[in-house]
């Protein structure tokens, strides 16, 4: 898009927002300060670099066979940097344990050490990318249906050891980057059919977590992610929403809300204020469920908009870690990152441009029609002109200008990977 056009449109938008008491430059500054935590696993359909890596398990699925999937650590890094070059702002990268730099060695999950992430730490420092972390309980011969909640001592202890080591890795990362590494724990544990032992597995999970968290770390933060069900584990999930909310509030841990992990008409946005009243921080996995937790690329839909608006309305930008979590193997994977990340940022920007002062005044005066009407009018305010200006100021393509860039990368890099 022509710079001149962006500037002209922005000048008009700034004036219109000023009429509602909104400073567009300040909104852009706030957006600039929000780092998304980009998930590394869209590059290669959640495969990772383990020597003996098996099929994706744990009730999650990446469907599609689009060419160009990253095959090794260098390709993942290259692809992430390409995606980041088309997303305005500075962003973090969230690694799963299976993306360690194992140098061709077979390093089992209970053997992982900070040194396996040294090259990531160096890479992050070199490129100015902060890292976050995830333990990996799926896609392993010992994954089965139960990991941390497994009554079998051998299997459970294996996963306890894995998760403990992951926390040590996260702490080492956090220390090295001088900023806490946010570590997420999601386990798939559950049951395909009716269980008569709901309490038993949850009690074991509680005890495993108590053991895992018995070490205090200064440079990492723990997050716990629930979900409703996984494929092949439809009847029961040990780590349910209730379980983790109770556990996290009692133990000062952070809850991760994945937007694909609730019943289809349940609002993730509505959960933000409740959690923030009892916990200082919150972690998000922004995703797009289509009929199930399908992990489609995030779009600027009502759910994502509502969620972002809620963060701003709660005045909680600094308390919420915004991670992305989608993996679509049926389209260009770099394009998937750029589209999903930009959609999330567009939602955040619209939230920051909301005329909250006026809306709240209407509400306090019981002016329901006026509140509704202004909310409706806000939808067609020229936020897109502010977005284009934000891109311009960040030196990334405005509008759809990133599409040819992704296509060029596909031609020159991705298609040569066959
Ligand atoms: C799965 C969870 C989890 C994973 C990643 C790979 O349903 O959303 O966050 O997507 O850990
Ligand atoms: Zn998730």
Q: Which pLDDT tens digit goes with each residue over 353-366?
A: 999 999 999 999 99
Residue 241: the pLDDT is 98
Closest-lying ligand to the alpha carbon of 285?
A: 2
**Catalytic residue status for 132:** no
Do the bridges between strand 288-290 and strand 292-296 make them parallel or antiparallel, or are there none, so unpaired?
antiparallel
- Per DSSP, the chain holds a count of helices (H) and strands (E) of 14, 12
Residue 418: the pLDDT is 81
Q: Does residue 46 have its Cβ closer than 6 Å to ligand 1?
A: yes
* Token representation of residue 256: 């991760």
Residue 275: the pLDDT is 98
Domain ranges of the chain: 34-354
Q: Which of 325, 327, 340 to mutate to test the pocket of ligand 1 (most atoms within 8 A of CB)?
A: 325
CATH fit for domain 34-354, picks 3.40.120.10, 3.40.50.720, 3.30.70.890, 3.20.20.150: 3.20.20.150
Residue 384 banded pLDDT, cuts 50, 70, 90: very high
Residue 61: the pLDDT is 95
Q: Which of 45, 79, 101, 293 is catalytic?
A: 293
Residue 51: the pLDDT is 86
Q: Does residue 97 have its Cβ closer than 6 Å to ligand 1?
A: no
**pLDDT exceeds cutoff 90 at 216:** yes
Do the bridges between strand 220-225 and strand 236-237 make them parallel or antiparallel, or are there none, so unpaired?
unpaired
**pLDDT exceeds cutoff 90 at 54:** no
Which residues have CB under 8 Å from 109's CB, separation 6+?
97, 136, 140, 142, 158, 159, 162
**Chain segment 316-358, per-residue pLDDT in tens:** 999 999 999 999 999 999 999 999 999 999 999 999 999 999 9
**pLDDT exceeds cutoff 80 at 397:** yes
On the 0-12 / 13-18 / 19+ scale of CB atoms within 10 A, 72 is exposed
């Amino acid at each position: 898009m022509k710079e001149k056009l962006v500037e002209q449109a922005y000048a008009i938008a700034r004036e219109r927002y000023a009429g509602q008491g909104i400073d567009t430059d300040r909104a852009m500054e706030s957006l600039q300060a929000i780092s998304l935590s980009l998930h590394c696993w869209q590059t290669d359909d959640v495969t990772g670099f383990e020597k003996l890596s098996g099929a994706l398990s744990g009730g999650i699925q990446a469907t599609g066979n689009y060419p160009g999937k990253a095959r090794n650590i260098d390709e993942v890094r290259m692809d992430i940097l390409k995606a980041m070059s088309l997303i305005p702002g500075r962003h973090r990268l969230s690694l799963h344990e299976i993306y360690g730099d194992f140098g061709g060695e077979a390093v089992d999950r209970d053997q992982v050490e900070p040194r396996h992430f040294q090259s990531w730490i160096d890479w992050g420092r070199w490129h100015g990318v902060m890292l976050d972390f995830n333990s990996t309980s799926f896609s392993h011969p010992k994954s089965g249906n139960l990991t941390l909640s497994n009554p079998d001592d051998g299997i459970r202890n294996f996963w306890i050891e894995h998760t403990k080591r992951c926390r040590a890795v996260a702490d080492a990362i956090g220390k090295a980057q001088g900023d806490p590494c946010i570590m997420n724990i999601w386990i798939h544990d559950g049951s395909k059919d009716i269980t008569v032992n709901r309490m038993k597995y949850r009690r074991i999970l509680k005890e495993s977590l108590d053991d895992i968290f018995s070490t205090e770390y200064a440079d990492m933060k723990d997050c716990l992610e629930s979900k409703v069900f996984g494929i092949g584990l439809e009847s029961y999930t040990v780590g349910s929403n209730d379980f983790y909310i109770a556990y996290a509030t009692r133990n000062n841990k952070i809850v991760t809300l994945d937007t694909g992990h609730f019943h289809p008409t349940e609002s993730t946005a509505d959960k933000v204020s409740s959690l923030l009243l009892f916990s200082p921080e919150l972690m998000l996995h922004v995703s797009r469920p289509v009929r199930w937790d399908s992990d489609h690329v995030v779009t600027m839909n009502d759910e994502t908009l509502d969620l972002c608006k809620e963060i701003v309305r709660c005045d909680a930008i600094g308390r919420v870690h915004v991670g992305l979590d989608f993996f679509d193997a049926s389209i260009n994977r770099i394009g998937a990152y750029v589209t999903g990340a930009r959609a999330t940022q567009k939602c955040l920007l619209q939230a920051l441009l909301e005329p909250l002062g006026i809306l709240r005044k209407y509400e306090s005066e019981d002016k329901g029609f006026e509140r509704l009407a202004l909310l409706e009018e806000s939808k067609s305010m020229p936020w897109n002109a502010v977005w284009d200006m934000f891109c311009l100021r960040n030196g990334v393509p405005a509008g759809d200008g990133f599409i040819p860039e992704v296509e060029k990368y596909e031609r020159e890099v991705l298609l040569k990977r066959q």
